[in-house]
C-alpha cells in the first residue's frame, strides 16, 4: 500500500512539473504552429537570475519572483528576436532562428557567467521531508503538486474568463479570422510568449530545486520533456499537453520502477521511440485540437 | 547536364582543388589541418543540403548518422591488438576484424544509409513542425544509444586507437565527389520532383509526385554522405566521444548551410568556406584571449554567440541564405536583358 502511495505521489509531482513545461511550449505552438527551441533557455534564465541575486539580502520569495520575471522577459525577447522578424517567411526559418537563439543564450551564459555549475539559493522547506500516510516524501514533491494544481486552475480560468484568454483561444483556432475580427495579432503572440515564460519560470524553481545548481545546458532536459509530452498529448490542445505531461510522468516512473538497471540507461531512447511511434499513428497527438490555424 | 550545371560543377570542384593545392604547397601544419577539416565539413554540409535543401525539411538527425558512420569505421578498423584496450567488451564476431580505413569509411557510409533507410521510411510522411520534432527525437535516440552501448562505442568515454588515414588528398577527393553528387541529385528527376514538393507539397502530390518516397530517397543519400563524412572525420581526429555528434555539431553544420543558402549547392559550399573562416578566426581569438589571461575566467562560447547572431541576421535579412536560388553557373551564364525585351 505504501508503495502504491509512493508511486502516486511520484507520478503526480513529476507529472505536475512535466505538465507545466508542456503547457508553456504548447501555448506558443497552439497559436503560431511553430516550435520554440529556445524554450529550455527560459528555465536557464530563471536559474541564473536566482544565482545572480543570491548574494543580496532579499527574502527568497522576492528572488523567486525576480527569477520568474526574468523568464517572462526572456520569453518576450524570444518573440522579438527569433520569431517576429521571420514569422511570415517559412516554418524552417523560424525553427532555425529559435535554435540559434537557444545556442546564443546558452553560450552567452557560458561566456558571461561560467560553463561550470553554479549553486542557487533554495528555501529550507525544499529540503524538508514530510510523512504522509506512512510514506516519507520530500516536501518539494508536495509543493510541486500544489503549485501545478494552482497554476493549472488559474490558467484554465484565465483562458476561459478573460478577454485576452478568449482572444488567444480564438487566435489558436483560426488566426486569420481572429485578426479580421479585431484581435491584435502581435499582442496575442507576445502574451503567449509571456505566459510561456511565466510557466517556465515557475517550473525552473521547482525543477532546479531538485538539482540545486544551474549550468548553461540545464534547459535541454526540460525542452525534451516538453517535446515528448506535447507530442503524446496533442500539439494543438492545451488539455492534451497537460494530459501528455502526466502520461509521460507515469511512463517514466513506471519504467524507473520496473526496468532492470542495464536497460534503464536506455530509457530516453525508449521514450523518444514512443514519440516517433505516436507521431506516426496520430500526427496530431492523442487529443486533437481545433481544426486548423494559419500563421501570418 | 546543361552547360550551366557543368560550369557550376567545374567552378565548385575547382575551388576545392585550388584550396587543396594551396594547402599542399604552403605546408603549414595548421593550414593543412584546417583545410582537411573544411573538406570533411563540406561532405557533411552537402549531405544535409541534399535532404534539407531539396525537401525543405530541417533535419537534426544528420549528425546522428555522422556518428553512426564514425563508430562503424572505428569498430572495423581499430587494430586488433588495440581493440582489447579500446573496446574490451566488443562482440567476438567483429573483434578479430581489421579492415583498411578506406573500406571502413565506405562501410560506415553504407551502414548509416541502411539505418536511415529502415528508420526513416515511415517518418517521411510528416511535414513541417511534426517532421522536425521527430527528426530531433531521432537524434536523441541515436545519441542515447551511442552514449550507452558500451560494447561498441565505449560508452560516454573517449574511443581511441583509430588509424590516422584521412589526409588532405583523401578529404579533397571526397569533397569533390560530394559536390558532384549533390549537384547531380539536385538536377536529377528525383531532385526536381522533390524541389517541386518543397515549394508546394499539395500541388506536387496532385501532379503525381510520391512525396514520402522522394523524401526518403533524399534522406538515405544524405545519411550516406553523413556516414562517409563522419567516418572521414573519425580517421582524421582518431579519438572521439558521443558528445561530438550532438547539438553543438548540429549547430555548426546547420549554420554553414543556412548562412550559405540551403537551396543551392553553391550556397552550401560558400557557407562552409565562410563559416569555417569565421569559426577558425574566432577560435584563434578565444585562444589568444585565454592565453593572455585578460579575463579572470576562461573565454568559451564567443564563437557560438557570433555564429548564432550571424545566423539570425542572415535569416532576417536574406531568408534564403547568401546564395538563395541561382547556382553560380546559372548566375554567370544568365542572359543579359536585351533592349527589345519587355520590362
A131 close to B (CB below 8 A)? no
DSSP state of B28: -
B253 close to A (CB below 8 A)? no
**Residue A63: inside a domain, yes or no?**
yes
Q: Answer yes or no: do B302 and A111 touch at CB < 8 A.
A: yes
Range of the domain at B20: 3-246
Lowest mean pLDDT among A20-29, B91-100, B218-227: B91-100
Using one digit for the tens of pLDDT, what is the confidence trace for A127-140? Answer: 777 777 777 777 78
The proportion of chain B whose per-residue pLDDT surpasses 70, expressed as a percent, equals 97
pLDDT on residue B156: 86
State the number of CA atoms in the 13 A half-sphere of B288 facing the CB: 7
Counting the structural domains of chain B, the total is: 1
Q: What is the largest CA-CA distance in chain B?
A: 76
Helix/strand/coil percentages in chain A, nearest 5:
75, 5, 20
pLDDT on residue B178: 95
A99 close to B (CB below 8 A)? yes
A280 close to B (CB below 8 A)? yes
**Residue B275: inside a domain, yes or no?**
no
Q: Are B229 and B47 in contact (CB under 8 A)?
A: yes
Using one digit for the tens of pLDDT, what is the confidence trace for A168-187? Answer: 888 877 778 888 888 888 88
* Residue A85 with chain B: CB contacts under 8 Å: 315-316
**Residue B92: inside a domain, yes or no?**
yes
Using one digit for the tens of pLDDT, what is the confidence trace for B100-131? Answer: 989 999 999 999 999 999 988 888 887 777 78
**Residue A292: inside a domain, yes or no?**
no
**A169 vs A164: CA distance, rounded Å:** 9
pLDDT at position B279 over 50: yes
**Residue A296: inside a domain, yes or no?**
no
**A161 vs A81: CA distance, rounded Å:** 31
A258 close to B (CB below 8 A)? no
The proportion of chain A whose per-residue pLDDT surpasses 90, expressed as a percent, equals 13
DSSP state of B337: P
Counting the structural domains of chain A, the total is: 1
**Residue B305: inside a domain, yes or no?**
no
Range of the domain at A38: 2-281
If one compares B85 and B250, the residue with the highest pLDDT of the two is: B250
**Which chain A residue is nearest to residue B250, measuring alpha carbons?**
A99
**Which of B57, B144, B316 is closest, CB to CB, to A269?**
B144
Per-residue CA distances from A240 to A56, A90, A226, A295 (Å): 41, 26, 12, 21
pLDDT at position A259 over 80: no
Q: What is the largest CA-CA distance in chain A?
A: 58
CATH number at residue A172: 1.10.3470
Mean pLDDT, rounded, of chain B = 88
pTM for the full predicted model: 0.87
The ipTM of this complex is: 0.83
pLDDT at position A18 over 70: yes
Amino acid at each position: 500500500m505504501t508503495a502504491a502511495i509512493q508511486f502516486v505521489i511520484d507520478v503526480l509531482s513529476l507529472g505536475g512539473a512535466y505538465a507545466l513545461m508542456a503547457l508553456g511550449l504548447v501555448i506558443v505552438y497552439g497559436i503560431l504552429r511553430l516550435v520554440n527551441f529556445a524554450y529550455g533557455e527560459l528555465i536557464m534564465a530563471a536559474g541564473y537570475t536566482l544565482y545572480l541575486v543570491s548574494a543580496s539580502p532579499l527574502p527568497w520569495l522576492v528572488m523567486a519572483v525576480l527569477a520568474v520575471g526574468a523568464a517572462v522577459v526572456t520569453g518576450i525577447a524570444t518573440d522579438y528576436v527569433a520569431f517576429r522578424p521571420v514569422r511570415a517567411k517559412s516554418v524552417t526559418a523560424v525553427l532555425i532562428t529559435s535554435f540559434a537563439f537557444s545556442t546564443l543564450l546558452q553560450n552567452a551564459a557560458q561566456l558571461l557567467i561560467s560553463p561550470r555549475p553554479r549553486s542557487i539559493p533554495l528555501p529550507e522547506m525544499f529540503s524538508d521531508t514530510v510523512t504522509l500516510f506512512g510514506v516519507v516524501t520530500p516536501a518539494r514533491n508536495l509543493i510541486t503538486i500544489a503549485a501545478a494544481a494552482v497554476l493549472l486552475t488559474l490558467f484554465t480560468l484565465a483562458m476561459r474568463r478573460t478577454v485576452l484568454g478568449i482572444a488567444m483561444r480564438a487566435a489558436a483556432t483560426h488566426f486569420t479570422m481572429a485578426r479580421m475580427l479585431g484581435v491584435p495579432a502581435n499582442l496575442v503572440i507576445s502574451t503567449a510568449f509571456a505566459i510561456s515564460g511565466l510557466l517556465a519560470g515557475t517550473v525552473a524553481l521547482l525543477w532546479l530545486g531538485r538539482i540545486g545548481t544551474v549550468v548553461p545546458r540545464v534547459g535541454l532536459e526540460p525542452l525534451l520533456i516538453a517535446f515528448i509530452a506535447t507530442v503524446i498529448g496533442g500539439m494543438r490542445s492545451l488539455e492534451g499537453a497537460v494530459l501528455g505531461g502526466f502520461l509521460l510522468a507515469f511512463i517514466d516512473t513506471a519504467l524507473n520502477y520496473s526496468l532492470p538497471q542495464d536497460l534503464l540507461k536506455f530509457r530516453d531512447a525508449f521514450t523518444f521511440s514512443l514519440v516517433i511511434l505516436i507521431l506516426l499513428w496520430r500526427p496530431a497527438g492523442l487529443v486533437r485540437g481545433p481544426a486548423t490555424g494559419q500563421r501570418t | 547536364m546543361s552547360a550551366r550545371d557543368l560550369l557550376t560543377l567545374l567552378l565548385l570542384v575547382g575551388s576545392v582543388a585550388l584550396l587543396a593545392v594551396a594547402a599542399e604547397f604552403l605546408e603549414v601544419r595548421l593550414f593543412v589541418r584546417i583545410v582537411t577539416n573544411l573538406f570533411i565539413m563540406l561532405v557533411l554540409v552537402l549531405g544535409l543540403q541534399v535532404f534539407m535543401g531539396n525537401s525543405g525539411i530541417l533535419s537534426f538527425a544528420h549528425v546522428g548518422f555522422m556518428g553512426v558512420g564514425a563508430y562503424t569505421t572505428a569498430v572495423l578498423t581499430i587494430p586488433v591488438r588495440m581493440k582489447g584496450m579500446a573496446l574490451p567488451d566488443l562482440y567476438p564476431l567483429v573483434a578479430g576484424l581489421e579492415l583498411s580505413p578506406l573500406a571502413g569509411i565506405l562501410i560506415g557510409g553504407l551502414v548509416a544509409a541502411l539505418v536511415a533507410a529502415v528508420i526513416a521510411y515511415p517518418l517521411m510522411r510528416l511535414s513541417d513542425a511534426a517532421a522536425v520534432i521527430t527528426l530531433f527525437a531521432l537524434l536523441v535516440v541515436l545519441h542515447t544509444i551511442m552514449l550507452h552501448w558500451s560494447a561498441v562505442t565505449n560508452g560516454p568515454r573517449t574511443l581511441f586507437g583509430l588509424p590516422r588515414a584521412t589526409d588532405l588528398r583523401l578529404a579533397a577527393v571526397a569533397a569533390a565527389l560530394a559536390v558532384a553528387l549533390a549537384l547531380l541529385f539536385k538536377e536529377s528527376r528525383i531532385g526536381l520532383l522533390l524541389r517541386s514538393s518543397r515549394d508546394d507539397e499539395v500541388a506536387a502530390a496532385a501532379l503525381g509526385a510520391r512525396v514520402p518516397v522522394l523524401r526518403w530517397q533524399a534522406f538515405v543519400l544524405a545519411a550516406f554522405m553523413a556516414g562517409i563524412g563522419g567516418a572521414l572525420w573519425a580517421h582524421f581526429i582518431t579519438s572521439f566521444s558521443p558528445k561530438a555528434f550532438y547539438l553543438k555539431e548540429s549547430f555548426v553544420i546547420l549554420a554553414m548551410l543556412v548562412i550559405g543558402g540551403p537551396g543551392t549547392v553553391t550556397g552550401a559550399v560558400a557557407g562552409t568556406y565562410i563559416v569555417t573562416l569565421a569559426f577558425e578566426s574566432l577560435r584563434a581569438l578565444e585562444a589568444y584571449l585565454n592565453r593572455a589571461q585578460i579575463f579572470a575566467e576562461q573565454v568559451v562560447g564567443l564563437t557560438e554567440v557570433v555564429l548564432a547572431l550571424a545566423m539570425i541576421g542572415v535569416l532576417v535579412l536574406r531568408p534564403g541564405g547568401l546564395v538563395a536560388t541561382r547556382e553560380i553557373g546559372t548566375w554567370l551564364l544568365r542572359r543579359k536583358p536585351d533592349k527589345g525585351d519587355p520590362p
